[in-house]
Amino acid sequence: MDSDGQYEQQVVWAVLGTEIGPLLLAATHEGLVNVVFHATDPVRDKALGRLASRLGSEPVEAPDSPLLAEAIRQVRAYFAGERRDFELPLDWSLISGFNRQVLRELAVGVPYGAVVGYGDLAGRVGQPGAAQAVGTAMGSNPLPVVVPCHRVVESDGGIGGFGGGLETKRKLLALEGVLPEPLF
């Protein structure tokens, strides 16, 4: 408890090396709450500051925490080509409203090796014509890779945008067999 008698939200984090660079994984007692691409020291520090501000608790580095162990295991298995689906508790507290609705649909409705158009995903949540809003939801995804925003593409066959960078999106889609492996 803190000095006001409130229970503080424990936030633990670790940085995991992957084929797309370092990923910061953060979790609470509710589940995985944040995945951050390109988690170099400056990116990591900025992300941890945002988490502290949003969740009201200073994140603690704890790579051996039971709160992170399964997420680390599953992310490693995904990049090793041994896992296609994540089966993790997720803490959705960093996102709400339409964005949360879209990301939840994406998490359950677009399987490994498949892609969906922004407009198609908008239609799935009952908002046909909200493709641009879906793009905004993808950009605010606090759980990329696990909630697979890399699987959302343009309806004309274009790859679309990606918060982790287009090269990262290409690598994730290649890992899942949607795109050919990059030549170099």
Using alpha carbons, list the distances in angstroms from residue 13 to 25, 68, 106.
6, 7, 24
CA–CA gap between residue 142 and residue 13 (Å, rounded): 14
Residue type, 6: Q
CA distance 11 to 135: 28
Distance CA 15, CA 44 (A): 8
**Cα(12)–Cα(44) distance, rounded to whole angstroms?**
13
Q: Which of 103, 149, 152, 172 is catalytic?
A: 149
50 as an active site residue: the answer is: no
Classified as helix, coil or strand, 112 is coil
Which residues are catalytically annotated?
149
